[in-house]
């Protein structure tokens, strides 16, 4: 970039016409308009959080971008009240004030002119003078106006703490009029209560508010944060006490003795649980919620394992076409109240489940088929020709009741409950499910133990396989129809720690490129042009999976590029920016949080059907045909699915998969289970693009074992 011979601009007022680009580090590019200047482009991190329609006072200098031309690089940005008729119309019609769209904004400003905002602020009853504004609409506008003013004031407070103004709305949603008081008096309350605020953000606010670095409040927050981070990032249910002390001490730069006192205080407050492991790391520390779930899950599983079967077992016809292990699996599921069926791709798990379900039904029993994700449930239903639902929907259909009453007086009553893709069951979901199953029903967990564990904390399937008393069988024979699949062959070689035959054939292909930027270019081309054209399929049949989120080949950057290629901005079409993400009609999206009120769950896929600035809503239609609305303030519950992580692809199967394999940032995510899971997501073809050494690293690097106590608890429960 070169600096143009134009003066440094100060105190220039301009309105935000459109956001062009927002990066994850909040670097923002926007098109601006001003009465003193022709339309221009402004950029910089100082613009973080600005929205179309806002009027800003800017200071900065002009630079010449080699690709995008002249732009104002903003060094200082201040929100101001719009003062001109055009700026006021743009502000009111942008969707910032719920209940006012472009047409109504024009009508209001045409009636009140430059006094419009003063009227709304001091004489709101006069809004009914405008056609189409009745008492109800007037009240809605007044309330939205008051909320917007409070959020704007909160943004100023956050900027004073050096915190992103994007968090102001989220804080206000949780605390309302108490928001400022919470910020200044007890900022550590924000952790876990406000999405997007972790320890570092709350700590910055606290320290700038005068909280001492050695404050017990601060140290306790650091301990809880390290436990929560270990659960959310690494799936651990506990941390060994020495590791927790070291991690928290490093976080707050204090002595470990202070950390130990904080652990003792949290123990006295019953916010953590400290146990001594019979073997291994000695004393370990759980967050109270994780400990409670693990204890409960062990108890529920022990209850189910000990129960007398209520399955109406009687002689059944031996099914032809099953090998010895499959027949054993059928017998195991019919005779054991809890059993586990595992095996790799092509080993006949689905066919075995179909036979088990058919046999139970032939004996007069009932079957419930379920899986952690919608796509996995749909695939299970197609393979068995029986209805299947997600575990979340199954539980959501049942009100919270006493233990063991899920199916009582319910059309979902079942003698056999089959959970496919059981490696995806985390501690919380498994606890809720097993708590609801009545004693005597049979629970069959089906999965591939070599795949990635759940996104949430815990390692339920792996833990059950470590308990000898849990009946299980592993299918190992690859059937002839699967032996010709390059995907199946590659998957089994990866599972064995061997590099697949390269470049591959019959559904598996590796294309070697070294430079990450070139890899990204190739992935985008393959997904949007080459594969759809060569295979004569639509673009939505190709899914991009990424081992990492950041970098040129991560989900964020590749997702942005794919969106711009597949669903670019259109003149006159509504769109809405939420942080670094822009939502447009036609976007493919995925909920990343369970929302029982909306009836949507983590991992489902959907399409954006409407973006409504006036009502501040984005509407989606799930692949199950359900229409769901999200407010603009809830959009962090959605992520675009143009490029998704391998973890989020679990339980799904795609006709064609393209994935970058690059050792960026040391390739910390490149591990055998991740690569194995990635390859087995493809049905017809998987194309890997990247570095051979990165592929070799992934094949040979084993994953870490999660800190869980479930296996030991269950074993002890069954002994007692």
Question: 260 is written with which tokens?
Answer: 């130990």
Which phi and psi (to 5°) does residue 456 adopt? -75, 170
Contacts of 279-283 spanning 24+ positions with Cβ under 8 A: 281/240, 281/241, 281/242, 281/243, 281/707, 282/240, 282/241, 282/242, 283/240, 283/241
Cα torsion 171, 176, 179, 180: sign:
positive
Q: Is 347 annotated as a binding residue?
A: yes
Starting at the earlier edge strand, list the strands of the sheet with 682-690: 508-512, 682-690, 654-661, 542-546, 643-645
- 666 labeled binding residue: no
Q: At what angle do helices 288-306 and 710-719 cross, to 10 degrees?
A: 40
- Is 164 annotated to bind a ligand? Reply is no
State both tokens at 33.
Answer: 């308009």
Provide the 8-state DSSP code for 227: H
Q: Is 346 a known ligand-binding residue? A: yes
Q: Given its phi and psi angles, is residue 669 left (phi above 0), alpha (psi -120 to 50 degrees) or beta? A: alpha
Euclidean distance between CA atoms 672 and 246, whole angstroms: 29
Q: Report which secondary-structure segment, H or E, holds 579.
A: none
Instruction: Return d(Cα 44, Cα 59) in angstroms, integer.
Output: 11
The reply, when asked if residue 581 is annotated as ligand binding, is no
- In 212-354, which ranges are E strands? 238-240, 272-276, 283-287, 338-343
Residue 367 CA from chain centroid, whole number = 31
Cβ count near 283 (within 10 Å): 14
Give the burial class of 11: count Cβ atoms within 10 A of its Cβ; 0-12 exposed, 13-18 middle, 19 or more buried: exposed
Binding-site positions read 346-350
Binding-site positions for ATP read 346-350
């Amino acid at each position: 970039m070169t600096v143009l011979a134009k003066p440094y601009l100060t105190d220039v007022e301009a309105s935000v016409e459109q956001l062009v680009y927002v990066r994850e580090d909040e670097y923002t590019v926007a098109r601006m308009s001003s009465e003193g200047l022709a339309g221009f482009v402004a950029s910089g991190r100082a613009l973080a959080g600005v929205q179309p329609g806002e009027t800003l006072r800017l200071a900065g200098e002009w630079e010449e971008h080699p690709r995008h031309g002249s732009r104002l690089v903003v060094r200082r940005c201040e929100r101001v009240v719009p003062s001109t008729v055009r700026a006021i119309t743009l502000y009111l019609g942008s969707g910032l004030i719920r209940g006012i769209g472009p047409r109504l904004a024009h009508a209001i400003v045409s009636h009140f002119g430059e006094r419009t905002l003063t009227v709304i602020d001091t004489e709101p009853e006069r809004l009914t003078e405008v056609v189409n504004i009745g008492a109800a609409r007037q009240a809605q506008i007044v309330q939205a106006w008051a909320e917007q003013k409070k959020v704007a004031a909160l943004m100023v407070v956050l900027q004073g703490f050096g915190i992103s103004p994007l968090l102001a709305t989220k804080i206000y949603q949780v605390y309302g009029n108490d928001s400022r008081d919470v910020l200044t008096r007890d900022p550590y309350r924000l952790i876990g209560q406000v999405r997007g605020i972790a320890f570092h953000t709350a700590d910055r606010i606290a320290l700038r508010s005068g909280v001492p670095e050695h404050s017990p409040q601060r140290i306790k927050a650091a301990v809880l944060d390290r436990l929560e981070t270990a659960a959310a990032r690494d799936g651990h249910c506990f941390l060994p006490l020495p590791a927790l002390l070291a991690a928290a001490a490093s976080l707050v730069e204090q002595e470990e003795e202070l950390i130990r006192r904080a652990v003792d205080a949290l123990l006295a407050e019953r916010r953590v649980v400290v146990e001594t492991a019979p073997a291994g790391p000695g004393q370990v520390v759980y967050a109270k919620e994780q400990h409670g779930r693990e204890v409960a899950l062990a108890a529920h599983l022990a209850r189910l394992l000990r129960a007398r079967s209520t399955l109406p077992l009687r002689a059944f016809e031996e099914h032809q076409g099953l090998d010895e292990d499959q027949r054993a699996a059928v017998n195991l599921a019919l005779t054991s109240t809890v059993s586990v069926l595992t095996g790799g791709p092509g080993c006949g798990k689905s066919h075995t489940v179909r036979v088990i379900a058919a046999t139970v039904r032939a004996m007069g029993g009932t079957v419930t088929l379920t899986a952690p994700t919608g796509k996995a449930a749909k695939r299970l239903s197609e393979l068995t020709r029986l209805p299947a639902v997600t575990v979340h929907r199954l539980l959501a259909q049942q009100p919270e009741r006493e233990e063991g009453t899920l199916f009582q007086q319910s059309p979902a009553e079942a003698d056999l409950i089959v959970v496919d893709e059981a490696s995806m069951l985390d501690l919380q979901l498994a606890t809720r499910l097993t708590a609801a199953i009545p004693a005597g029903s049979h629970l069959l967990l089906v999965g591939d133990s070599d795949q990635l564990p759940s996104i949430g904390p815990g390692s339920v399937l792996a833990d059950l396989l470590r308990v000898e008393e849990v009946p299980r069988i592993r299918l190992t024979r690859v059937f002839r129809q699967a032996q010709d699949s390059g995907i199946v062959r590659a998957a089994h070689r990866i599972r064995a720690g061997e590099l697949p035959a390269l470049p591959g054939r019959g559904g598996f292909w590796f294309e070697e490129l070294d430079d990450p930027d070139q890899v990204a270019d190739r992935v985008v081309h393959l997904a949007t042009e080459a594969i759809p054209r060569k295979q004569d399929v639509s673009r939505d049949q190709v899914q991009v999976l990424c081992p990492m989120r950041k970098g040129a080949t991560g989900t964020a950057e590749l997702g942005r590029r794919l969106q711009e290629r597949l669903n670019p901005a259109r003149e006159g079409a509504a769109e809405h920016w939420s942080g670094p993400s822009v939502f447009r009609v036609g976007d493919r999206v995925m909920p990343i949080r369970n929302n029982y009120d909306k009836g949507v769950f983590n991992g489902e896929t959907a399409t954006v059907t409407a973006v409504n600035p006036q009502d501040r809503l984005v509407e989606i239609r799930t692949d199950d045909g359900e229409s769901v609305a999200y407010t603009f303030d809830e959009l962090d519950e959605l992520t675009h699915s143009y490029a998704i992580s391998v973890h989020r692809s679990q339980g799904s199967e795609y006709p064609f998969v393209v994935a970058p394999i690059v050792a960026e940032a040391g390739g910390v995510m490149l591990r055998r289970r991740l690569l194995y899971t990635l390859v087995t997501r493809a049905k017809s073809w998987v194309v890997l693009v990247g570095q051979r050494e990165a592929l070799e690293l992934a094949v040979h690097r084993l994953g870490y074992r999660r800190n869980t106590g479930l296996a030991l608890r269950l074993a002890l429960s069954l002994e007692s």
